[in-house]
Amino acid sequence: MRIRSVKEWNGNGRPLIIAGPCAAESREQLSSTAQAIASIDKNIIFRAGIWKPRTRPGSFQGIGGEALPWLKEIEEKIGLRVCTEVANREQVEACLAAGITTLWVGARTTVNPFYVEEIAQAVKGKNVRILIKNPIHPDLNAWIGSIERFYQAGIEYLVAIHRGFHPLPASKYRNYPNWAIPIELKHHYPDLPIITDPSHITGNRQMIEKVCQDAMDMHMDGLMIETHINPELALSDKEQQITPAELQQILLHLEIHRDSTLPPQNLENLRLEIDQIDYQLLKLLKKRMDCAKQIGKIKMDNDLALFQPERWNKLLAERQLWAEELGIRDAFTSDLFKTIHAESIALQKKLWRE
């Protein structure tokens, strides 16, 4: 058993593109959107939510099972593979009964292992394809856990969808992209296709093109883009949906990097330099840790508390000043020294317990 590649998904290995409305609203809305998308590229997978997870009651909750035959019609008459969101066993069974076999698990479902397990059991051993959105919170383990549950249920066609994370207070994004998380996922599962959903990351159609390009620059394997025949009339996620014509323009302008197997010489030289710098950094960190251990012993002998808030505040403020002089970002400096300081305290604590 093995995870299938993008090439096995779409036959050409180019970025895997999924497009279609946030929600199925009518048979006409689905078929006109699908026709316009099919005329761009028949390899695009068509998406539409049928059961919509909404934050507040009273908003449009989706058409429900009635829309399943409309979706199937798109596969049969227009020739696009279709996918929809499922959140429980009943919905999986309704999709399978209607012949819909590409299913995605939403961000609000991935957070809960009970739901994921129920869905994984419902598709176990079946010939289905599963896409798993990241959980709302930046919890890589919950995302990995969900992927593993489907893999263990025998699903080989798996895709992770990076749709961003609960936003930081002052963020311009609807969901903060936090690229470090999909990058870390790629590190764990080099064969797993990961695609980005710029619609839910941005929440705003003006920013979609930029995030699509960011995804390509970050080596993501494809995109899921909410596309509606008439976004102004959309019943959900109106601000972030684009027209098929806009989708075509975005795809046309997308710069897809051909990663040559032989990197240019100047890149190799710079990488070598970075390797040397990193080794020096680690050696210095080791030296710093040895100092911290000696300090730990002195604190122990003199009955001083492990954590000295005054010293820590002074230390951090000083480094922030140095960083500013050097042109290093303040947020990076604080994160870095918080991590270094936490390790010092952990080492000292260990020494006290020995």
Structure tokens at 75: 């596969």
207 binds Mn ion (CB under 5 A): no
The whole-angstrom separation of Cα 159 and Cα 6 is 9
Long-range (24+ apart) CB contacts under 8 A made by 172-178 are: 172/207, 173/201, 173/202, 173/203, 173/207, 174/200, 174/201, 174/202, 174/203, 174/204, 174/240, 175/136, 175/200, 175/201, 175/203, 176/201, 177/201, 177/211, 177/214, 178/138
Which one, of 170, 37, 53, 181, lies nearest residue 105 by Cα?
A: 53
Judged by CB under 6 A, does residue 174 bind ligand PEP? no
25 binds Mn ion (CB under 5 A): no
Largest CA distance in the chain: 81
Residue 85 binds Mn ion, judged by CB under 5 A: no
Residues 179-238 within binding reach of ligand PEP (CB under 6 A): 200
CA distance 348 to 290: 10
Rule CB under 6 A: say whether 133 interacts with ligand PEP.
yes
Q: What is the CA radius of gyration of the chain?
A: 24
**Interaction between residue 6 and Mn ion (CB under 5 A):** no
Q: How many CB atoms lie within 10 A of CB 345?
A: 15
Our finding on whether 11 is near ligand PEP (CB under 6 A) is no
Nearer to ligand PEP, 146 or 333 (CB): 146
As a whole number of angstroms, the distance between CA 190 and CA 77 comes to 36
Q: Kindly state the smallest distance separating residue 236's Cβ from Mn ion, in Å.
A: 6
Q: Which is nearer to ligand PEP, 51 or 157 (CB)?
A: 51
Least gap, CB of 140 to ligand PEP (angstroms): 16
86 close to 105: Cβ distance less than 8 angstroms:
yes
Q: Could you tell me which stretch among 32-40, 100-108, 137-145, 286-294 binds ligand PEP (CB under 6 A)?
A: 100-108
Strand partners, 160: 132, 194
Assess 234 for contact with Mn ion (CB under 5 A): no
Binding mask 60-99 toward ligand PEP (x if CB under 6 A, else -) reads: ----------------------------------------
Query: Interacting stretch for ligand PEP, rule CB under 6 A, among 38-46, 101-109, 124-132, 303-311?
Result: 101-109
17 touches, from ligand PEP, Mn ion, none (C-beta below 5 to 8 Å by class): none
Under the criterion CB under 5 A, does residue 87 sit at the interface with Mn ion? Answer: no
Binding region for ligand PEP (CB under 6 A): 22, 49, 53, 106-108, 133, 163, 200
